[in-house]
Amino acid sequence: MRNLLIRSIIAILIIGPLFLAPLWLGGIFLLIFTMLISIGLMWEFKKFADVGISTVHYVIIAAMCLLWEIAVFSNYPEILLTILGAVLILFLIEVGFYNIPRTMNRLGTSLFLLIYCGVLPSSFMLVRRYGTFWAILPIAMVWTVDTFAYWGGSIFGRHKLAPQLSPKKTVEGFFTGFASSFLVALIAAKMQPQYNGTVLWLVAPITGIVGQLGDLFESKIKREFAVKDSGKIFPGHGGVWDRTDSLLWVYPLVWMVLLLKSG
């Protein structure tokens, strides 16, 4: 009970404002926040994952992630093309200078890190372009889904969802969390009726399903490297990977829905 109270206080006083403020303010604040997320993801991966990549290699990939986010923020496609060219050069260097048995492993890891630590976080800025409401709604849904899935599993849980990845997650918790996303959508529709449309009711199931799959994906990564938490930057809540696993899956899809609807 004491641990739960401490976790709740940290979530309300630290994690909540830390994530919500940049999404609310947008602009340079959101860019800085996004870049810090990328650096945190890369730093934690380097610490818990032994994939045979040098520190210099991590620095190069991190620089490309940050450049990508600056390009998205500035809306300069030329920079994006330059980054893609830099990735190609990096891959060629990888093939030319590393021993053959681990070349594909390094290439795959490099591409994964560029996407997961750079491209996906940039979706925060892309969604923010559609206004504060859409920037805040996905994270509110994700946190609600997480909370309801936890309590639903604790109270009603009988059937394991993915015991090899996350032994505590249950089918009952999954569907409780999924249902809660529609509750948030209903509340949002009542508070902001001008947004009560197709997009709102598409965002709900996306968050309810994909957000929880993102959590399982991160669990799979951690299981592969035999770690419980990705880091300890948020006491009781783990690291940056632990706090962003669902968000990095949800925001890109929300952006796609908004883009298709506006187009």
Please give the residue range of the domain that contains residue 145.
2-262
Q: What is the pLDDT of residue 84?
A: 73
Q: Which residues of the chain have pLDDT under 50?
A: 1
Residue pLDDT, tens place only, 42-83: 999 998 887 777 788 888 889 889 988 998 998 877 777 777
Q: What is the pLDDT of residue 180?
A: 95
Model-level pTM? 0.89
Please count the structural domains in the chain.
1
Q: What is the pLDDT of residue 237?
A: 62
Q: 20-42 in b/e burial notation, b at 16+ Cβ within 10 A? A: eebbeebeeebbebbbebbebbb
Q: What is the pLDDT of residue 95?
A: 60
